[in-house]
């Protein structure tokens, strides 16, 4: 693809050699003469002069040397992600049902649907146009898969789950398994029947080996555009809002509410009935206590989670403890000397 063509596709302007042919993308420190890179921060800007990249995606005000071929965009990182899809398009699914797949009664498949080897699709399930069901997937009864949704190999979808358009679910994920619900009678635990459902909005992505449990009663909801990393657990009756991002190994206890555009780091633990308000940020490894409210736009860290400034103050105080201990020991020594004097 020529620089001129890429700039036009990005609705951007270019400077330099518009006829230069680009064959791929690369990091700014390692990209070659036929590759595209981007300047997305101070570190990249410092490396730009020595970069061999054939073309750079830069911000409108970046001071480009005259010898550089650049494309000016508002958000270089976002434009780079878009450009990558042109150089490395998603593999096209081959429509059709593999001979080893098993389809239940009343299954409805839209045009261009692909069902892979040894997949199982339960009674009454409906798959929209261009849905992909990978090899070894098990899709339960009365499941709805929206247009363009892709289930990678070995995904399991339990009964009565609704999944929107353009959803991507990676291998090993389990959607709609029973929530962890039990009642105690004397000295024994008895299962509380989990008869609710799961609803997943449009353009959600769920990482490998993640689990979204069905509600005990009602619905577990994952909102439009939300992205879950690998090994994320969403428990029964959680309501995750729109465009939330959640990093790996995070766990949501039952009935947690996360509002729109929240950002949640890796290995975060959230107690039941907690509320994370819109655009809050939870730092990696923090712990949110049961019924805690993290307020809109607030950044919290640590366990128990507290505002970032408080967390940093606590870390600073902990760092001073060895010196404080030494000082106390010295004071004790001096007091002992004074008490020994006649």
The C-alpha atoms of residue 175 and residue 179 are separated, in whole angstroms, by: 11
219 and 326 in a single domain? The answer is no
Q: What is the pLDDT of residue 340?
A: 79
pLDDT for position 342? 65
Both 110 and 8 in one domain: the answer is no
Residues 130 and 206 in one domain: yes
Number of H helices and number of E strands within the chain?
4, 39
What is the pLDDT, as a whole number, of residue 94?
87
pTM tops 0.75: yes
State the catalytic residues: 236
- 211 shares a domain with 187: yes
Give the pLDDT score at 125: 98
CA angle 50, 56, 57 (to 5 degrees): 140
Note whether 120 and 188 are same-domain residues.
yes
Residue 130 CA to residue 167 CA, distance in Å, equals 12
Say yes or no: 171 and 285 in one domain.
Answer: yes
Give yes or no: residues 242 and 324 share one domain.
no
How far is 203 from 317, CA to CA, in rounded Å?
44
Of 87, 118, 135, which marks where a domain is finished?
A: 87
The b/e string for 258-292 (b: 16+ C-beta within 10 A; e otherwise) is bbbbbbbbbebbbbbebbbbbbbbbbebbbbeeeb
Residue 275's SS3 state is strand
Same domain for 55 and 184: no
> What DSSP character marks residue 93?
P
- Choose one of 45, 68, 87: the last residue of a domain: 87
Both 129 and 219 in one domain: the answer is yes
Spell out, as residue ranges, where the chain has pLDDT lower than 70.
341-342
Give residue 243's domain range.
96-306
The DSSP symbol for 21 reads B
Average pLDDT of every residue of the chain: 94
Q: Are residues 243 and 323 in the same domain?
A: no
Domain boundary among 87, 113, 130: 87
Looking at the structure, tell me whether residues 262 and 285 fall in a common domain: yes
- What are the contacts of 19-23 at 24+ separation with CB within 8 A? 20/54, 20/55, 20/69, 22/54, 22/55, 22/87, 23/87
**What residues contact residue 263 under an 8 Å CB cut-off, 6+ apart?**
244, 245, 279, 280, 281, 282
Tell me if residue 175 falls in helix, strand or coil. Answer: strand
Residue 219 confidence (pLDDT): 97
Same domain, 222 and 116: yes
The total domain count for the chain is 3
pLDDT tens-digit series, residues 160-191: 999 999 999 999 999 999 999 999 998 999 99
Q: How high is the pLDDT of residue 64?
A: 79
The CATH code of the domain that includes 290 is 2.160.10.10
| pLDDT of the residue at 275 | 98
């Amino acid at each position: 693809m020529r620089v001129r063509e890429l700039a036009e596709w990005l609705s951007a302007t270019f400077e330099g050699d518009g006829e230069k042919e680009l064959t791929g993308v690369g990091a700014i420190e390692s990209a070659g003469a036929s590759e595209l890179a981007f300047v997305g921060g101070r570190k990249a800007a410092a490396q730009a002069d020595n970069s061999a990249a054939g073309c750079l995606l830069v911000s409108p005000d970046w001071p480009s040397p005259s010898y550089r071929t650049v494309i000016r965009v508002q958000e270089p990182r976002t434009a780079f992600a878009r450009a990558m899809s042109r150089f490395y398009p998603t593999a096209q699914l081959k429509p059709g049902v593999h001979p080893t797949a098993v389809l239940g009664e009343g299954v409805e498949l839209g045009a261009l649907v692909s069902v892979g080897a040894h997949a199982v699709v339960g009674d009454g399930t409906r798959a929209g146009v261009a849905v992909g069901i990978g090899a070894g997937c098990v899709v339960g009864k009365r499941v709805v898969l929206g247009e363009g949704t892709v289930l990678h190999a070995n995904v399991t979808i339990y009964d009565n789950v609704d999944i929107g358009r353009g959803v991507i679910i990676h291998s090993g994920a389990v959607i709609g398994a029973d929530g962890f619900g039990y009642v105690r009678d004397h000295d024994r635990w008895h299962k509380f029947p989990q008869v609710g459902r799961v609803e997943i909005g449009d353009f959600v992505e769920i990482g490998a080996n993640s689990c979204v449990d069905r509600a005990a009663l009602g619905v577990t909801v994952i909102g439009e555009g939300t992205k879950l990393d690998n090994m994320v657990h969403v428990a029964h009756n959680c309501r995750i809002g729109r465009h939330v991002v959640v990093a790996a190994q995070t766990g949501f206890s039952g009935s947690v509410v996360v509002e729109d555009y929240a950002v949640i780091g890796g290995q975060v633990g959230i107690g039941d009935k907690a509320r994370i308000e819109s655009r809050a940020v939870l730092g990696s490894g923090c712990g949110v206590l049961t019924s805690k409210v993290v307020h809109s736009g607030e950044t919290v860290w640590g366990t128990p989670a507290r505002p970032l400034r408080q967390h940093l103050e606590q870390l600073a105080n902990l760092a001073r403890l060895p010196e404080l201990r030494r000082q106390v020991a010295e004071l004790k020594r001096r007091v002992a000397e004074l008490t020994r004097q006649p």
